[in-house]
């Protein structure tokens, strides 16, 4: 397995709206935590937006979004933007992490929908986006705090009998909160399309990359948090038993990492409901994993709103009728360090 590292940083500012894509030297922030300092805390919202394409046609869209004749248009995109901003306003996170966003320009669209509803100090003035060349969808982050040190880790696997399928990379970005950094690892793992067992080997490789990323910062006084759509239920990860342990999940790989998942309560019971409803069953595939130094509290499946059906399941977006929000519920938590 080879891991290719490439840097993807924006170095421009859009001063009219106050929205910044920026980068700065890591050396300005990587200072050890002073134990006498007050704890920092941020609320993070993670959401798979379900094929959130804009109203333009670039040629990389999924077929059902590839033309106006297919039923997709700018008006429907505008409605989806309004619904997305409705959810963000209701949850009011400090950091908003997204999967299945089409492009960087949409971060501006989302920002402009949100900025009139918050004071300047609460605007999401910082953002980053990444997707592989030719891909339809990617990963996005909006933040009230500066972002820096963005890095992308992509897999290049040549050891398997079959060729590696298209897989989204791991996006790493630091968040500067009061001059004390938090490392955010954004994931969107290989789906189970084509068969859960057949595709599991690729999610295992992605798990190994994530474990290595946690291991790299062990003992460095930099809290690390991973989030995203992992297309793997919490029960499919290796659980660590024992109430006295700080961690409850082991991420497997060449360099395993112990992390904490809020899907389990202190008694080892699963949090209800899940974040994804499939074939009549709840799945918990949207995750937060916290390493040492990052404390997780107030974990929620954000299911109280118009984005929930009458039966309590996510109100998925249906292109034909222009109804719904996403087939995933957003999940949120507070990280303190």
Place of tokens 């990860």: 237
In a domain, residue 222? The reply is yes
In a domain, residue 240? The reply is yes
User: CA-CA distance, 53 to 177, in Å (whole number)?
Assistant: 31
Predicted confidence (pLDDT) per residue in 85-137, tens digit: 999 999 999 999 999 999 999 999 999 999 866 666 689 999 999 999 999 99
Cis before 273? omega within 30: yes
In a domain, residue 31? The reply is no
pLDDT number for residue 120: 66
How many independent structural domains does the chain possess?
Answer: 1
Neighbours of 326 (CB within 10 A): 24
User: CA-CA distance, 315 to 297, in Å (whole number)?
Assistant: 26
Using alpha carbons only, give the angle 75, 76, 77 rounded to the nearest 5 degrees: 90
Which phi and psi angles does 112 have, rounded to 5°?
Answer: -65, -30
Query: Which string of DSSP letters, residue by residue, matches 119-147?
Result: -GGGS--EEEEE--TT-S-EEEEEESS-E
Using alpha carbons only, give the angle 335, 228, 306 rounded to the nearest 5 degrees: 90
Provide the CATH number for the domain around residue 51: 3.60.10.10
Give, as one character, the DSSP assignment of residue 6.
Answer: E
In a domain, residue 27? The reply is no
pLDDT number for residue 117: 62
pLDDT number for residue 65: 95
pLDDT tens track of the chain, all 337 residues?
A: 544 443 333 433 433 334 555 443 333 343 344 444 689 999 999 999 999 999 999 999 999 999 888 899 999 999 999 999 999 999 999 999 999 999 999 999 999 999 866 666 689 999 999 999 999 999 999 999 999 999 999 877 777 768 776 789 999 999 999 999 999 999 999 999 888 888 899 999 999 999 999 999 999 999 999 999 999 999 999 999 865 578 999 999 999 999 999 999 988 999 999 999 999 999 999 999 999 999 999 999 999 999 999 999 999 999 999 999 999 999 999 999 9
**Tokens standing for 282?**
């709840």
H or E element: which one contains 278?
strand 276-278
Question: Would the CA dihedral through 264, 267, 269, 273 be positive or negative?
Answer: negative
Supply the range of the domain harboring residue 97. 39-336
pLDDT number for residue 68: 86
Alpha helices (H) in 50-176, listed in sequence order? 74-91, 105-114
pLDDT number for residue 36: 46
pLDDT number for residue 316: 99
pLDDT number for residue 242: 66
pLDDT number for residue 243: 56
**Tokens standing for 336?**
């303190």
Residue 46's alpha-carbon distances to 91, 225, 285, 288, in angstroms, are 11, 12, 12, 9
Nearest C-alpha neighbor of 214 from the set 246, 253, 241, 178: 253
In a domain, residue 6? The reply is no
In contact, 143 and 175? CB cutoff 8 Å = yes
**Tokens standing for 22?**
């920026």
Give, as one character, the DSSP assignment of residue 264.
Answer: B
Place of tokens 């170095």: 11
pLDDT number for residue 158: 75
pLDDT number for residue 119: 66
In contact, 260 and 130? CB cutoff 8 Å = no
- Listed in sequence order, the residues at least 6 apart from 318 whose beta carbon sits closer than 8 Å to its beta carbon are 324
- Listed in sequence order, the residues at least 6 apart from 320 whose beta carbon sits closer than 8 Å to its beta carbon are 71
In contact, 171 and 228? CB cutoff 8 Å = no
Q: Classify 17 as helix, strand or coil.
A: coil
pLDDT number for residue 30: 38
In a domain, residue 105? The reply is yes
In contact, 45 and 139? CB cutoff 8 Å = no
In a domain, residue 273? The reply is yes
In a domain, residue 131? The reply is yes
Nearest C-alpha neighbor of 101 from the set 134, 30, 53: 53
In contact, 248 and 239? CB cutoff 8 Å = yes
């Amino acid at each position: 397995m080879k891991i290719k590292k490439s840097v993807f940083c924006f170095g421009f500012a859009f001063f009219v709206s106050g929205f910044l894509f920026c980068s700065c030297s890591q050396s300005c922030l990587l200072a050890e935590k002073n134990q006498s300092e007050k704890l920092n805390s941020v609320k993070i919202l993670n959401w798979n937006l379900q094929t959130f394409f804009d109203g333009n046609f670039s040629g990389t869209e999924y077929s059902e979004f590839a033309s106006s004749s297919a039923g997709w248009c700018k008006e429907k995109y505008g409605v989806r933007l309004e619904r997305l901003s409705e959810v963000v306003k209701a949850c009011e996170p400090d950091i908003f992490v997204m999967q299945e966003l089409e492009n960087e320009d949409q971060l501006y669209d989302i920002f402009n929908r949100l900025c009139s509803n918050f004071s300047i100090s609460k605007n999401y003035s910082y953002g980053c986006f990444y997707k592989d060349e030719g891909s339809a969808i990617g990963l996005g982050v909006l933040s009230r705090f500066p972002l820096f040190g963005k890095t992308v880790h992509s897999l290049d696997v040549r050891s398997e009998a079959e060729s590696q399928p298209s897989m989204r990379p791991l996006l790493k970005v630091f968040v500067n909160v009061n001059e004390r950094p938090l490392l955010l690892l954004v994931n969107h793992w290989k789906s189970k399309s084509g068969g859960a067992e057949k595709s599991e080997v690729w999610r295992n490789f992605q798990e190994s990359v994530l474990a290595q990323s946690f291991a790299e910062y062990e003992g460095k006084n930099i809290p690390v948090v991973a989030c995203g759509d992992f297309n793997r239920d919490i029960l499919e990860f290796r659980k660590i038993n024992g109430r006295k342990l700080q961690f409850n999940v082991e991420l497997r790989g060449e360099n395993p990492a112990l992390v904490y998942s809020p899907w389990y309560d202190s008694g080892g019971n699963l949090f209800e409901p899940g974040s994804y409803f499939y074939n009549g069953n709840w799945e918990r595939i949207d995750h937060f994993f916290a390493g040492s130094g990052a404390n997780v509290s107030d974990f929620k499946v954000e299911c109280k709103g118009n984005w929930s059906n009458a039966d309590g399941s996510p109100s998925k977006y249906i292109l034909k009728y222009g109804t719904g929000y996403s087939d995933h519920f957003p999940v949120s938590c507070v990280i303190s360090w």
